[in-house]
Structure 1
Amino acid sequence: MPEMITVTDADFEKVLRQDGSGKPVLVYFWADWAGPCQHFTPIVKEIAEARHDIVVAGAHADDNPKAVEQFGVRGIPTVLLFEGGQRVGGLNGAVPKKEIERLLPQQ
């Protein structure tokens, strides 16, 4: 069963490319001190376990300032969707699971 992987500034680009697998990548920016993330993380993990056609990666916002700056993350939680290494969508805040599912490609 797929799990959410950890992504860092050092391997961010590699994860986005997924070495040619062609899978979309959903990146979840979070922080352990942020109350909304404590409720939102289980939702993202559920998606990671259910969707084998995408890669779900978590990036701790404090530990990955380059990615936060590069993608203009202004608040957490934030999820960004990438296809072919390019950002194609995103959501800010602890949105309902259905909102994230609408962002993702149809199965």
Structure 2
Amino acid sequence: MAVVDITDTDFGAKTDEGVALIDFWATWCGPCKMQSPIIEQVAESRSDVDFYKMDVDENPATAQSIGILAIPTLLVKKNGEVVDRITGYTPADELNKILDQYTD
């Protein structure tokens, strides 16, 4: 499954059903550039999670409203509710373990 770019406008509509992982990032962020290929790798191996990325510089309203204070921050939502928040670089095996908690 591909990682899809989302915006302030479609954040809720895209992430309110099922399990979703949202990567909050910015183009200038070094750790974000390291995290991105990991998320793409995990996304390709899972069909039970929807994967999204949101540029916090281009979409500040959502990041501000849910309290994103550092990037990269990964949110896991299940049926519209934030169930996990991971800040900083996260290896693929750890990310898979976290997602496994929220999928059937």
User: What TM-score do you get using the length of structure 1 for normalisation?
Assistant: 0.89
Q: Among the aligned pairs, what percent are the same residue? A: 31
Distance 2:38 2:60 in 1: 24
- Residue 73 (structure 1) aligned with residue 72 (structure 2): no
Partner of 1:32: 27
Distance 1:17 1:82 in 2: 7
Q: Matches of 1:71 and 1:97 in 2, distance apart?
A: 24
1:47: how far off? 1.2
Letter in 2 for 1:41: S
Query: TM-score w.r.t. structure 2 length?
Result: 0.91
Where does 1:27-66 land on structure 2 (aligned, <5 Å)? 27-66=22-61
Q: What is the alpha-carbon distance in structure 2 between the residues aligned to residue 77 and residue 100 of structure 1? A: 13
1:17 is displaced (CA, Å) by: 2.0
The aligned residue for residue 89 of structure 2 is 94
**4+ aligned runs moved over 6 Å, structure 1:** none
Q: What is the count of residue pairs matched by the alignment? A: 102
Unaligned runs of 5+ in 1: none
- Which shows bigger deviation, 94-103 or 6-15? 94-103
RMSD value over aligned CA atoms? 1.3
